[in-house]
Amino acid sequence: MKEDSFKKPSILEVENLNLAYGEYQVLEKVSFSAKRGKCTVLMGGSGCGKSTLLKSMVGLLAPKGGRILVDTIDLWAVDQEEKTSILKKYGVLFQGGALWGSMNLVENVSLPLETYTELNEAEINDLARYKLNLVGLSGYGDFYPAQLSGGMKKRAGLARAMALDPDILFLDEPSAGLDPINSHRLDNLINELKVSLGITFIVVTHELPSIFDIADDSIFLDGQTKTLLAQGLPSDLRENSEHERVRSFLRRGTPISKN
């Protein structure tokens, strides 16, 4: 990362991104930026390409065109060594991202630390328990995933994604499958971590209450045109977006009228 990177408000800039699986075009000309220390939500209907965009931002799917700048460095143009050093600053929770069932929570959270750090076993153990404390799971380190509720599993996944002290946390549908109360708890946790640790969040979700609770900024991806239709604060977009599909999505499809 560049020395002066902390002065820049944007930590991520996506320019004219073109994403496809082979011949199958998913998104074209996607441009937006994500601000440091803020939560940017990627939203849009099922199949519009949210997870695909996320995969490209975390270095798993090469774009057909365009650039992804992380602290001004082009993620897909640098050599493998530099790419790895960027990716080490990331934490990722994939859609349906599961914990290892045969490992307890401390072991699950320890995995990235064992792989990517030189810390000894005792230090790793302490750090893993500390991360579990951060997500409200102190005392559950010796539990196995099967012994936890859905909400606790999600929080453990978040602890694992935070193991390496990421600058940016990418979460794909973190509250999917949770009841409204646990979903709200997870949203609160995201907001707390953002403020207390200064982490930048990029969160895919199409759950409206979450969108309004966590987003400092959002982008709307449109499956019909395969483009980004809007960027802004969700409450502003709901009222003022020039695109009917954006306003309608944020009103849960309720007919648009100004009253």
Ligand X SMILES: Nc1ncnc2c1ncn2[C@@H]1O[C@H](COP(=O)(O)OP(=O)(O)OP(=O)(O)O)[C@@H](O)[C@H]1O
The residue (of 56 and 110) whose beta carbon lies closer to Mg ion is 56
The residue (of 20 and 103) whose beta carbon lies closer to ligand X is 20
Q: Does 174 bind ligand X (CB under 6 A)?
A: no
The residue (of 54 and 105) whose beta carbon lies closer to ligand X is 54
Residue of 2, 9, 47, 165 that binds ligand X (CB under 6 A):
47
Beta carbons of 11 and 194 less than 8 angstroms apart: no
In the region spanning residues 38 to 67, those forming contacts with Mg ion, defined by CB under 5 A, are 51
Q: How far is CA 139 from CA 104, 116, 163, 187, in A?
A: 12, 25, 17, 22
Spell out, one character per residue from 80 to 119, where the chain touches Mg ion: x when CB under 5 A holds, - when not. ---------------x------------------------
Q: Does 206 bind Mg ion (CB under 5 A)?
A: no
End-to-end CA distance of the chain: 48
Spell out, one character per residue from 2 to 41, where the chain touches Mg ion: x when CB under 5 A holds, - when not. ----------------------------------------
The residue (of 4 and 24) whose beta carbon lies closer to ligand X is 24
In the region spanning residues 4 to 43, those forming contacts with ligand X, defined by CB under 6 A, are 21, 24, 26
Q: Does 151 bind ligand X (CB under 6 A)?
A: no
Residue 100: which of 22, 153, 62, 26 has the closest Cα?
153
Picked from ligand X, Mg ion, none, the partner binding residue 63 (CB below 5 to 8 A depending on kind) is: none
Q: Distance between CA 173 and CA 85 in Å, rounded?
A: 26
Q: Does 176 bind Mg ion (CB under 5 A)?
A: no
In the region spanning residues 75 to 134, those forming contacts with ligand X, defined by CB under 6 A, are 95
Give the shortest CB-27-to-ligand X separation in angstroms. 8
Picked from Mg ion, ligand X, none, the partner binding residue 26 (CB below 5 to 8 A depending on kind) is: ligand X
Residue of 31, 33, 51, 117 that binds ligand X (CB under 6 A):
51
* Site residues, Mg ion (CB under 5 A): 51, 95
Residues binding ligand X (CB under 6 A): 21, 24, 26, 44, 46-52, 95, 206
